[in-house]
C-alpha cells in the first residue's frame, strides 16, 4: 500500500510539472519597447517644392519579443507629399522621411507625424516645417551648387576611392536653408551618401567652399568634411573636422 502511494505522488508531481511547463510555453513574451528620434526637431526655413529630409532612428528600451528587429516607419502631413525610405529600420539604421510642401502650404507651418510600430507597440513623434515664400532663380542656384560640388569630386575619387564617389555618380539636388544669403547651402543625395555643400558668397581670399558626407542608411551625423580655402585660387580640398549635425 505504501508503495502505491509513492507512485501516485510521483505521477501527480509529473502532472504538475507538465502543466506548469505547458502554461509557460503558452505564455507569449511581451513585445520589446522602443524609442524613436527624429532629426531635426523642426525646420524653420523651407519653401514649396523643396525636398525636406528628416532622419529617423529607433532604439530598444528593454528586452522582449522583437528586440533588435525592424520597426515599421510611416509618416503623414497635410498639404505635402511625404515619402519614407526605407519603410522599416532596425536599431543602428536610419530612415529618411522626405516632405515636399505644396503651393497651398506657403505662409503656414506644417505638422509632420511620424509613426513607428513593432509587435503591436506604436510610437509617434511630431515635427513641423515653416513654409515661406519662394526664392529668385532656384535653377541658377542648383546649377552653381552643382559646379561647387564638382570641384570636390575628382579629388575625392583620387584620394578616397573607398567612398565610391566618381564623376559617374548620380545625385539628387536638394535645396536647404533657402533664405540665407551670405553663406549658401545645398544638399545632394547619391545612392549611398548625403553630401552637404556650402560656400561663402564673397571675394578672395574668403571665397571658401565646404562639403560634408553622411552615409545615408547608417549615420545621422556627417563622418567626413572637406574644405577649399579659396575657389578663385583653385586650392586643393583639405580634410576638416565634420560638424556634429546635418544641415537642414
pTM value is 0.87
Query: What whole-number distance in Å separates Cα of residue 150 and Cα of residue 168?
Result: 11
The residue count for the chain: 248
pLDDT attached to residue 28: 65
pLDDT, tens digit only, all 248 positions of the chain: 444 444 555 544 454 444 444 444 445 689 999 999 999 999 999 999 999 999 999 999 999 999 999 999 999 999 999 999 999 999 999 999 999 999 999 999 999 999 999 999 999 999 999 999 999 999 999 999 999 999 999 999 999 999 999 999 999 999 999 999 999 999 999 999 999 999 999 988 999 999 999 999 999 999 999 999 999 999 999 999 999 999 99
pLDDT attached to residue 29: 83
Q: In sequence order, what E strands does 133-223 have?
A: 172-175, 183-189, 193-200, 209-215
Question: By three-state DSSP, how is residue 198 classified?
Answer: strand
* Closest-CA residue to 215 (of 173, 166, 162, 168): 162
- The DSSP symbol for 104 reads G
What are the backbone dihedrals phi and psi of residue 90, each rounded to the nearest 5 degrees, phi first? -100, 165
CB 50 within 8 A of CB 179: no
Compute the CA torsion angle 38, 142, 188, 54 (nearest 10 deg).
10
Q: Give residue 96's Cα distance to chain centre.
A: 4
pLDDT attached to residue 19: 45
Residue 58's Cβ-count burial label (10 Å; 0-12, 13-18, 19+) is buried
pLDDT attached to residue 16: 42
Amino acid at each position: 500500500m505504501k508503495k502505491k502511494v509513492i507512485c501516485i505522488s510521483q505521477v501527480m508531481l509529473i502532472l504538475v510539472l507538465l502543466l506548469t511547463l505547458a502554461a509557460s510555453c503558452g505564455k507569449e513574451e511581451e513585445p520589446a519597447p522602443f524609442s524613436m528620434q527624429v532629426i531635426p526637431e523642426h525646420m524653420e526655413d523651407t519653401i514649396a517644392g523643396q525636398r525636406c529630409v528628416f532622419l529617423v532612428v529607433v532604439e530598444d528600451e528593454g528586452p522582449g519579443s522583437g528586440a533588435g528587429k525592424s520597426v515599421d516607419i510611416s509618416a503623414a502631413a497635410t498639404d505635402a507629399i511625404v515619402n519614407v525610405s526605407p519603410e522599416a529600420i532596425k536599431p543602428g539604421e536610419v530612415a529618411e522621411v522626405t516632405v515636399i510642401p505644396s503651393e497651398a502650404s506657403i505662409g503656414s507651418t506644417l505638422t509632420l507625424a511620424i509613426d513607428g510600430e513593432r509587435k503591436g507597440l506604436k510610437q509617434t513623434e511630431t515635427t513641423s516645417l515653416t513654409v515661406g515664400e519662394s526664392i529668385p532663380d532656384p535653377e541658377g542656384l542648383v546649377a552653381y551648387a552643382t559646379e561647387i560640388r564638382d570641384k570636390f569630386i575628382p579629388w575625392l575619387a583620387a584620394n578616397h576611392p573607398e567612398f565610391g564617389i566618381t564623376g559617374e555618380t548620380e545625385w539628387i539636388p536638394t535645396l536647404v536653408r533657402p533664405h540665407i544669403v551670405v553663406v549658401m547651402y545645398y544638399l545632394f543625395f547619391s545612392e549611398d551618401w548625403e553630401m552637404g555643400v556650402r560656400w561663402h558668397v564673397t571675394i578672395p581670399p574668403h571665397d571658401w567652399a565646404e562639403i560634408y558626407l553622411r552615409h545615408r542608411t547608417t549615420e545621422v551625423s556627417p563622418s567626413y568634411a572637406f574644405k577649399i580655402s579659396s575657389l578663385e585660387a583653385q586650392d586643393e580640398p583639405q580634410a576638416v573636422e565634420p560638424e556634429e549635425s546635418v544641415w537642414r
